[in-house]
Each structure stands twice: as C-alpha cells, then as structure tokens.
Amino acid sequence: MAGNKDPNNVWEYNPSKGAAILFTILWLITSTYHFVQMIQHRKWYCWVLVMGCTWEFVGFALRILSIDNPTSVALFAPQLTFIVLAPIWIAAFDYMSLGRLINVFLPSKRCLGLSARRITLLFVGGDIFSFIVQLSGSMFLTGNNPSPHDFKLGTNILIGGQCLQLLLFSIFIVMSIRFEINYKAEFGNVGKERWVAFMRVLNVSCVCICIRSIFRIAEFASTYPGPLVTHEVAFYVLDAVMMLFAVWGFHLVHPGKVLVGEESSFRAERKRRKMQERDTSTSAVELSSV
C-alpha cells in the first residue's frame, strides 16, 4: 500500500508485476485475434474494437514498465490514461453494432423514431465527447506534480465523463429493448436466431462496461486515497477482468457472422442509394427527351 519508504513512489500499493504481465499477454492475444477476425470477415468497422483492445494492451505494457520504475510519472501517467480511456473505443463498437442490427433486421430501419444511421451517429458523437472530457480530466491528474486544485478539478471532470458514459449506456439499453420489441411485432420469433446470440453478447459487453464505469466513478469520487485506490484487487476485478469479458464474447459471436449483406454497411448502402438516384434521374432525362 501507500506506506512506501520512497515519497516519490507514484503507486498507492505494491503493484503485482505478474498480474500486469498476464493481462498484457491476454490483451495482446485478444487484440491480434480481433484484428484477424476483422480481416477474415471484412467487417471494417471492427477497427474500433481492435483499437480499444490495443489501448488496453499498451496500457498494461506500460504498467509493467511503471512497476519497474515506481518513481517515474512519465510511465505512470500514460499507462493510467490508456487503461482509463480504452473502454470508450469498445463502447463505440457496441453502439455501432446496435445501429447495424437495426438497419439489417428492422424493415423500417428505425427505432424510437430515429433512423439506424442517426442512432449510430448520436451514440458515437456522445462517446467522442465523453472521450474528450475524460482525456481532459486525465491530463489534470497525470500532470507533473498536480496541485490540489488541479487534482480535484481533474477528478471531477473524469467523474463527469464516466457519468456521461453511463447515461449513454442507459439509453443504449432502452434502445436494445425497443429493437427486440419492434422485431417481435414484425416477425414474432421467426428468424430471431439470426441475431439473438449477438445481441446477448452486446448486452453482456454493455453490463461489463457499466460495472467498470461505476467502479471508476466510486474510485474517483472517494476521498483520496480511498480503499478502491489503495487495493489493487479492486482494479483487476472491477476494471481489467470486466473489460476482457466485454470483448471476449465477440470472438465467439462475431458481427461478421450476423451482420451480412449490403445493409450491414452504412457506407455501401449510401453508395447504392446514390446509384439508384442517379439511375432514376438518368431515366427521367431519357424519357423527357423522347
């Protein structure tokens, strides 16, 4: 714990190097495998998931170096930043996947009055804003010898970013439930097996990220250094393990197996629509010239 003899030690406990090495290896494996699956299934939007896993890998690799150099803020700060911000990429992947599910499986391509594309843009836009907020907060916390004012300000900003993430996930849950209700109203249980396993993996991913966000809010909101800051086991159980669970399910039920066809890509669908509009206008010109 924080009773280190060296007052310059940046750690509030004696961190486990073995645990850091284990999770570095696990994140390297899952990052590589997700990259391979992205290429295999040609699901290019999965680069967001690969990025989140890669940030986790980099964060834990830097954690090993920071453990070996416990007085180095230059190593401690980036490892904390990468690990704190990596889940935002994974959350963005969840949002993008839900939008594509709506676009592929609902005839109206709408949910709660919003088009699938607009739903994706709103969620991802909110996620990007949350990323900027949390990055700003982490910069206050990880600066060289931050003042008590800067530390408090950075903590409050990070809490705000985490609360925004929880709000987005609350709306995500409502949207997911509504998707299932709309599908059942259209088709009953016919064809549900095509997407239900992927939806459950999305649900698990969402719950894991929510648990991790609640942990981070409690950690940052507690009086420093609180019990969640001074006990490493809390970090591994409520953050590191939760984030692995949030991404591992997609290895088993990859979106490439579920989101198939032109409608699974907003870009391809937009290109097709433009070609149809061009063909229609060409036909109209030809008819007017007859």
Instruction: Write down the pLDDT at residue 285.
Output: 53
- Give yes or no for a contact between 200 and 180, defined as CB atoms under 8 angstroms apart: no
The pLDDT of residue 1 is 43
Q: How confident is the model at residue 242 (pLDDT cuts 50, 70, 90)?
A: very high
The C-alpha R_g of the chain, in whole angstroms, comes to 22
Question: How many whole angstroms separate alpha carbon 195 and alpha carbon 179?
Answer: 11
pLDDT tier at 226, thresholds 50, 70, 90: confident
The Cα–Cα gap between 281 and 20 comes to 61
Q: What confidence tier does 286 reach under pLDDT thresholds 50, 70, 90?
A: low
Mean pLDDT, residues 89-110: 94
Q: What's the mean per-residue pLDDT of the chain?
A: 88
Residue 231 CA to residue 277 CA, distance in Å, equals 61
Cα separation, 17 vs 28, in Å, equals: 16
Higher pLDDT, 46 or 148: 46
Half-sphere exposure of 165 (CA within 13 A, CB side): 34
pLDDT band at residue 4 under the 50/70/90 scheme: very low
Give the type of residue at 241.
Answer: V
Tell me the angle at which helices 116-141 and 73-105 cross, rounded to the nearest 10 degrees: 170
CA distance 10 to 267: 46
pTM listed for this prediction: 0.87
**By mean pLDDT, which of 80-89, 121-130, 221-230 is the weakest?**
221-230
pLDDT of 3 reads: 45
DSSP string, 210-272: HHHHHHHHHHHHSSSS-HHHH-HHHHIIIIIHHHHHHHHHHHHS-HHHHS-SGGG-HHHHHHH
